[in-house]
Amino acid sequence: MTLQSSGAISLLQIATEFGGSAPHSMSEYRGSGGTPATGAIDFADFYSTSAGPPSSGLIMHMEPSAYSSGSTWNDSAGTNNQMTKVGSPSYTSSSPKYFTTSNSNFWQVTTRPTGSYSAATFIAWVYRSASKTQGIFDIRYGNGTQFGMEVGYDGEEFGYFWNNNSSGTYTYQTNLNTPLNAWCMVGVGVNSSSAEFFMRTSSAESINTRTYTHSSQTIGSTSTIYYGGDPESSGRGWVGRLGHFYMYNRKISTAEFRDIYNLQKSYYGH
């Protein structure tokens, strides 16, 4: 529910919309719903805000609950992006709804969000069932550049690749080890000068930031984009479960990562 656009707003209304832990305070909600992340915050800052995912720059929002049957999974962000099955990723329709994927069973983005990206953010709810290099959201080849996020060589650590698959990105160690056989939310936000890696397990939040020069990346009309796979290797499919996925055309803030986590944490048993 979106909060009202005028008149008196109570702290209870804000807490009902955004959650949190009692006793509540205004400082608890800095950055929520696009409000100021630092400095003074006022009740009026919450006019027309919502606990839904931040809408600014949202270009792909894949919800497992939006899938019913067949080979196509439609985007919930209203941007007409679409995924199509590769092989037969199986669907669990009981809560939490998710897809079970493997080396040969995953999703491919077939209606691509083409364009040049000077900044981007990828976020996914993942459940890892194997320790190996495996793709989460990988963009490669075609008439574009190579960038995305994955679990790297040690089979546990969440990371990224950027700058057309530069070794300066995919060898970067975040020290964010995804849990085995448990749900967690992972995300990476990148702009021209920095990257922020965000991971939230059921028990802890972990953040890694780096200063690094990132060039603009391109998704072309023939780029190969996999959710739960890696076009570079048939042995790098995601072995486990995949849930909600988000893509933004900007680097979102830490507070926004937390907002998105809070939207689904109870859904995934956190």
Predicted local confidence at residue 52, as pLDDT? 75
Q: What is the DSSP letter of 270?
A: -
CB atoms within 10 A of CB 25: 11
Which range is most confident: 42-46, 63-67, 181-185?
A: 181-185
Give me the pLDDT at residue 18, please.
78
pLDDT at 33 over 70: no
3-state DSSP percent of the chain in helix, strand and coil, to 5: 15, 35, 50
pLDDT value of residue 3: 81
Name the fold adopted by 58-264: Jelly Rolls (2.60.120)
**Tokens 């698959």 belong to residue:** 165
Task: Give residue limits of the domains in the chain.
Answer: 11-46, 58-264
Q: Where are the beta strands (DSSP E) in 2-119?
A: 58-62, 72-74, 82-86, 90-92, 98-101, 106-111, 115-117
In this structure, what DSSP letter does residue 105 have? B
Give the residue-averaged pLDDT of 178-191.
98
The 10 Å Cβ neighbour count of residue 54 is 23
- pLDDT over 70 at 183, yes or no: yes
Return the H-helix or E-strand segment holding 18. helix 11-18
pLDDT digits (tens, 9 = 90+) for 78-128: 777 899 999 999 999 998 999 999 999 999 999 999 999 999 999 999 999
| Contact indicator for 57, 250 with CB cutoff of 8 Å | yes
Alpha helix (H) ranges present in 97-239? 167-170
Residue among 246, 250, 213 at smallest CA distance from 227: 246
Cis ω for the linkage preceding 179 (within 30 of 0)? no
User: Mean per-residue pLDDT for 28-42?
Assistant: 75
